[in-house]
Structure 1
Amino acid sequence: MADNEKSEELKNRIEAGQQRHANRSMGDYAREARDTATAFVKDHPIATVAGGLALGVIIASIVPGPGRRMRKKAVRRGSAMAAILAEMGAAYGASLLDNLGSAARTGGDRLEDIGDSIGDSARDFRREVGSQRDAARETVRRLTRDAGKRTGRTVRDLKQRIAH
């Protein structure tokens, strides 16, 4: 019974998770994205400001206008800053990918464990059913044998009574 209860609980938990996922709206995903962006800005304020500056330099170098010399100087400085920012972004991206890979591995491991548990429970159930089937088959064989013996003895006794 414990294995059946565990299987049922696991099945219910999986269904509840699927239901929660199905009930999420686009608003929920938008709120999650907003919260993630806010957390990033709070955790990495310097990278956020540097990214804003780099974006400003890039836009200023693209937009035509007066002050060409100043723009060239800014572009040179902006290039150096862009290189630094690109390096910071690459480091952060690598860190993010490592975290995502770790989360994916953890999720995969949990799914593998769930699959193993379900498989083990199914094999246990199959063994139990097979054992009960074999026991029932043996009982039927014994009952049939005993009924045959009784019938044979009864027929023999009747023949002897008729012959006498």
Structure 2
Amino acid sequence: MTTPEKRMELKNKIEAAEQRNAGRSLGDHARDAREGVTSFVKEHPITTVAGGLAIGVLIASLVPGPGRRLRKKATARTAILGGVVADLVAKYGEQFIEGASNAAKAGQHRAVDIGSAIGSTARHLRHEAGDLASDAGFRTREAGERAARTFRNLRSRITN
């Protein structure tokens, strides 16, 4: 494709995307955002938990300690915010553990499948090797008998 063709194709794609976005509702955007966040959490659970901890440390630094002013108002707000952060961290931790458990189960199932496939292939190869060995033994015995007959015929020709 030439450069102008590539530009036209890109321009058409952008226009089509803009039209799709214009027809979408706020709920569609929210659903996409939720799916994006969920997939990020599943792909990067450790980063997510570390981010939650960092946010918790930031909030804890905002909590007024002894001797600071605005203690009552800030403490109530911080307690609410801390509760929300704790819930988020607990939820992300739960998803992390669930994802790890699912990955472990999938790994176990895959290991069983691989073991079964290896066992089946090994049995098949064992039978094939047995057949080949039997065939080789039979052919060796036949070759030995032919060699013995040929030797006897040569010897009888020489002696006669």
Calculate the TM-score normalised by the size of structure 1: 0.49
Higher relative contact order (CA 8 A, sep 6+): 1
